[in-house]
Amino acid sequence: MTEQEYKQKEAKIKERNKNITMKRKLHRMKKSRFPKLKKPSTSKIVLFIVFIICIQILCFSEYMAITTGDTSYMYALIGVPCTLIPTIIAYYAKASKENMAGGITYDMAMSQQADYSSTVDEQTDSDGAVG
């Protein structure tokens, strides 16, 4: 390889590295300008939807009570929000406790992970020959 060919290859490599550096810098700037929003958990979404449904039932009940002057049907409708909201809140609390250290789900996942890692270690340690 001549010196001129070497300089051309070196220039191409420098140009490529410069482009890569520029792309990385632009990517970092884009990330800092638009922070990634954290996706809410399913339990929180369910709680929000049930809360909205309960508010809607209560508003409808109040509207019909004012319009018709009869409140006899409210005995059935008022039970829905009164049972749904505490049930969902209790489920949410239970789910959050299970996924923390000391919870059933968390401990089970950790024990399975420990079992898997010990079997992988045994497999790699017992193989003496390579290839």
Domain boundaries, the chain: 42-121
pTM of the model: 0.43
What span, in angstroms and rounded, lies between the C-alpha atoms of 124 and 131? 13
Q: Which residue's structure tokens are 């789910």?
A: 95
What span, in angstroms and rounded, lies between the C-alpha atoms of 54 and 92? 17
Query: How distant, in Å, are the alpha carbons of 36, 46, 48, 96, 107 from that of 42?
Result: 18, 6, 10, 12, 21
Digitized pLDDT (tens) for each residue of the chain, 131 residues in all:
788 888 899 999 999 999 999 999 988 888 777 777 788 877 778 878 888 888 888 888 888 888 888 877 777 677 777 787 788 778 777 777 776 766 666 667 677 776 655 554 455 555 555 54
At 72, is the secondary structure helix, strand, or coil? coil
